[in-house]
Structure 1
Amino acid sequence: METKAVEHLNVKYHYVPIPLCPNAVPLSDEYFECLMRYEPIPFYHITGTAKMGPKSDPTAVVDPQLRVWGISGLRVVDASIMPKIVSGNTHAATVMIGEKASDLIKNCWTKYR
C-alpha cells in the first residue's frame, strides 16, 4: 500500500495467494473480491468452537436441537455452534440462533405441561 497516509511507516502489503483464485492480480478488484468471498476472517467473531453436527461426527459438540451430546439439560446457544463461518458479520446469524433456541426451548417445555 503506497499512500501518503502510511508511507512514513514503511509498511509493505503481504500478498497471500488465494487458492481458489490463483490468477487474481494483487490489489485488483478481482483479487479483493476473491479475498472477501473465499478467505473470510472472523476478526473476533469466533465461530465453530462447539460445532453442531450429527452424532456420527466426532468433532460435533451439539445436535440440531442445540443440545450438547452426552450431557442432559445443557444447550449451546451462540456463534460457536456454526460448523462454518458465515461470509458476512456473524451478528445476524447469531441472533437467529438465539431465536431458534428460544423456540426449541419453548416447544420442549410445552410437552411437560
Structure 2
Amino acid sequence: MNAIKVARRLAEADALKSVIIDEYVPGRQYQTDEQLLNAARRFSQTIYHPTSTCKMGNDDMAVVDRRLRVHGIKRFRVADASIMPQIVSGNTNAPSIMIGEKCADMIKQDRVRGS
C-alpha cells in the first residue's frame, strides 16, 4: 500500500500530472490503508517470467550440471530462464536467448567430442 501511495505522489508531481489522465488501477475509490492493501492483494500479479527453478551444480539440490545436462537423465538439457541463479532486473527474453544459444554450442561441442 505504501508503494501505491508513492506512485500516486509521483503521478501528482508537476512533471507528470499534465500527462496523466486518470488512475487506472487500483483506482481513486481506494483510499484507506485497508482499501489499498485489499486492492494490492486483488490486482497484484507477477510478470510471468519465472526463473531460477533448476539449480546448476553438482550438489544434491542441483538439477543441471554446468553444461545444462539434467542429472540422472541422458540426452536431456534445460536451456531456459530456469537455470538463472537469480532473476535479472530487466526482461528475461535476451538472457534466455543467450542461454539457448550457449546450450546449442555445447551440444555441438559434445557431439564432436562424442560425449
TM-score normalised to the size of structure 1?
0.62
> How many pairs does the alignment contain?
84
1:44 to 45, 48, 58: 48
Give the distance between the partners of 2:49 and 2:99, measured in 1 at CA.
Answer: 15
> How far apart, CA to CA, are the structure 2 residues paired with 1:85 and 1:42?
12
Q: CA deviation at 1:9?
A: 3.9
Q: List aligned pairs for 1:26-65, cutoff 5 A.
A: 43-52=47-56, 54-56=57-59, 58-65=60-67
Q: Provide the C-alpha distance between the structure 1 equivalents of 2:77 and 2:103, rounded to a whole number of angstroms.
A: 9
Please tell me the residue identity of whatever aligns with 2:58. K
Q: Gapped runs of 5+ residues in structure 1?
A: 15-40
CA shift, 1:88, in A, is: 1.0
RMSD of aligned residue pairs (Cα, Å): 2.5
Task: Give the TM-score normalised by the residue count of structure 2.
Answer: 0.62
Residue 11 of structure 1 pairs with residue 30 of structure 2: yes
**Identity within the alignment, %:** 45
1:42/1:85 contact within 8 Å kept? no
The runs of 5 or more residues in structure 2 that have no matched partner are 1-7, 13-20, 38-44
Which has the higher Rg, Structure 1 or Structure 2?
2
- What's the CA shift string for 1:30-63, capped at 9, x where partnerless? xxxxxxxxxxx961111012222x212x332111
- AA aligned to 1:11 is Y
Judging by fraction of residues, say which structure has more helix: 2
